[in-house]
Amino acid sequence: MKFAVRPQIHGYETFAQFAEAHRVTNRDLIFTQRILHESFMQGSPAQTLFYDDFCGGEPTDVAVDAMLVAVHKLGFERLIAIGGGSILDCAKMLALDSEDNVAGLFKAGVQPGRKVGLMLVPTTCGTGCEVTCVSVLDFPGIGSKMGKGFDAGFADHAVLIDEMLSKIPYYVFATSSADALVHALEIYLAPTANAYTDMFCMAAARAILQGYRRIVEHGRDVIQQDAKSYLAASNMAGIALANVLAGGVHAIAMHFGSAHHVPHGEATRLFLPAVFKVYFEKEPAGKIADIARLIEEALGLPAGRENPFDALDRLLAEVVPTKQLSQYGMAEGDIRVYADKVIETQQRLLVNNYVPLSASDIAGIYSRLM
């Protein structure tokens, strides 16, 4: 067994408190979105690089290549990335001590060091990538997303700032928090999970499920009241993810999200109930029984009355609605092709499944969601 929490973790109510505590100066480079800078960072002496200038959606290899060129022209001592998972994932690569482009960095065995300090500040409550070393990019040339872990991609400091959730659009909140829930539930079931990841996963999943129940019962205004809880839950799921990779839900979502330009959190939420229903059918007496009990307890369901993953599906439909796969543009003829593509490109994740998923199992999941 191996377990570590790599970055130091800090919490502040506002960006101003963070900037004062960490002495942000003009030798720092803030990598963020313009709207975030305008909302929270006006007056900061730090240099800036804006994600918006390179990419309008989730990052591609081509966009990150352009970011790398821009960063290599700048002089700074510390990179402070403030944003959602896409920005933080890119920052891990921008801080590396390498002149390689993305193709070079993603080659097997390539592990450059880091040339500057790195601080990661999430503005969503989802990926938890402020405490992981993995960068996930879209590679349109091969029609799929892929991730790579860089040993030097771990930040020196991960910073949770309550204020950053104050203006989060509901869709971003919903899909990002759903991704954190997927991390927690998938990693709990992974064959390489351990007592420490189990503890973080269950605490994160419980907090998110209870928060979702509060949204259903009291409306969306409770999100800001629960901001600290969501940030902590996302971070705890991220700590688990830094030690144990996710599994089949992410594997299937990676390809589908790339093929149909579906944001990552929406894609993982889309496949969560369907994959877990297959797991529950195949091996109901294993660790998935713990998750079943957690769902029943968090949602106030009578024990054993119904399949808990049907109840989870209904809850998610109210908080994080999605569409049928056909409404995203998937056709019946794509089912087997997509299933084979997942098997071909996502073995890094598929080996962490609770029980094995064959191409036929994956095709069946697609079929049920069409």
- How far CA 179 is from CA of 64, 121, 124, 151, in Å, comes to 23, 17, 11, 23
Interval 118-135: pLDDT, tens: 999 999 888 888 999 989
Cα–Cα distance for residue pair 272/251, rounded to 1 Å: 11
Stretch 258-275: mean pLDDT, rounded?
A: 92
Stretch 322-347: mean pLDDT, rounded?
A: 92
Please tell me the predicted confidence (pLDDT) of residue 327.
96
Please tell me the predicted confidence (pLDDT) of residue 10.
96
> Would you say residue 36 has pLDDT above 80?
yes
Cβ(159)–Cβ(357) below 8 Å: no
Cα–Cα distance for residue pair 198/279, rounded to 1 Å: 18
Please tell me the predicted confidence (pLDDT) of residue 217.
95
> Would you say residue 258 has pLDDT above 90?
no
Please tell me the predicted confidence (pLDDT) of residue 145.
79
Please tell me the predicted confidence (pLDDT) of residue 62.
94
Q: Mean pLDDT over all residues of the chain?
A: 93
Please tell me the predicted confidence (pLDDT) of residue 302.
82
Please tell me the predicted confidence (pLDDT) of residue 278.
95
Q: Nearest CA to 88 among 25, 35, 154?
A: 154
Provide the whole-model pTM: 0.88
> Would you say residue 304 has pLDDT above 80?
no
Please tell me the predicted confidence (pLDDT) of residue 263.
87
Interstrand relation of 144-149 and 134-139 (parallel, antiparallel or unpaired): antiparallel
> Would you say residue 268 has pLDDT above 90?
yes
Four-residue CA torsion sign, 318, 200, 135, 148? negative
Interval 144-200: pLDDT, tens: 778 898 999 999 999 999 999 888 899 999 999 999 999 999 999 999 999 999 999
Please tell me the predicted confidence (pLDDT) of residue 130.
94
Cβ(339)–Cβ(346) below 8 Å: no
Q: How many residues does the chain have?
A: 370
Please tell me the predicted confidence (pLDDT) of residue 254.
86
Please tell me the predicted confidence (pLDDT) of residue 167.
83
* Phi, psi torsion values for 47, nearest 5 degrees: -70, 160
Stretch 29-40: mean pLDDT, rounded?
A: 95
Please tell me the predicted confidence (pLDDT) of residue 306.
83
Share of residues in the chain with pLDDT > 70 (%): 100
Torsion-angle region of residue 307: left (phi > 0), alpha (psi -120 to 50) or beta? beta
Share of residues in the chain with pLDDT > 90 (%): 79
Q: Nearest CA to 85 among 138, 29, 6?
A: 138
- Which domains are delineated in the chain? 8-165 (3.40.50.1970), 170-369 (1.20.1090.10)
Cα–Cα distance for residue pair 35/41, rounded to 1 Å: 10
